[in-house]
Structure 1
């Protein structure tokens, strides 16, 4: 169902209930689609199986042996003089 923003604001609990039992509710602003209210179940289904930011960061490219050796051989001291 499609709701104008003002109507959705005035009847927000009804919008939420319809999202829960009837499916996504579209909100329009000046006749243009602006937002969609989903039930938690629909949202969870949308997100299922998609990696999180943490998954993306931890799942970066693997380090080959040559790169590991280069990292281990680097100087253990700072490359520039840092005075505090």
Structure 2
């Protein structure tokens, strides 16, 4: 999944700030079930609450299998690490 989960049956839900505070657990459940939720903050516009996994994906943080795949695809995959700060390339 390379994009944020959005369902066509459930439109992006808007929350007033006081409702988001009062029903925070429900807000979090909807983030996981339906996708991003918007919270309207009158003096500052709005914010969007998203799942941490989606945030990491948007920020480009590589984790788990994606990191392993990136290392395996690297031309330096056979590099041997020695003392801190030193890189010894084998076969190059």
Q: TM-score, normalised by structure 2?
A: 0.47
Distance 1:20 1:33, change over 3 A: farther
Structure of larger gyration radius: 1
Measured against aligned partners, the alpha-carbon deviations of 1:16-68 in whole angstroms (never above 9, x if no partner) come to 11111211100002397421110112111101269xxxxxxxxxxxxxxxxxx
Structure 2 unaligned residues grouped into runs of 5+? 1-12, 63-92
Structure 1 unaligned residues grouped into runs of 5+? 51-84
Matched, 1:26 2:31: no
Pick one of 10, 14, 17 that aligns with 2:26: 14
Whether the 8 Å CA contact 1:4–1:31 is kept in 2: the answer is: no
Distance 1:8 1:41, change over 3 A: same
Instruction: Decide which structure has greater helix share.
Output: 1
Give me the whole-angstrom Cα distance separating, in 2, the residues matched to 1:49 and 1:9: 29
Aligned to 1:77: none
Matched, 1:45 2:57: yes
Between the two proteins, the alignment pairs up a number of residues equal to 50
RMSD: 2.1
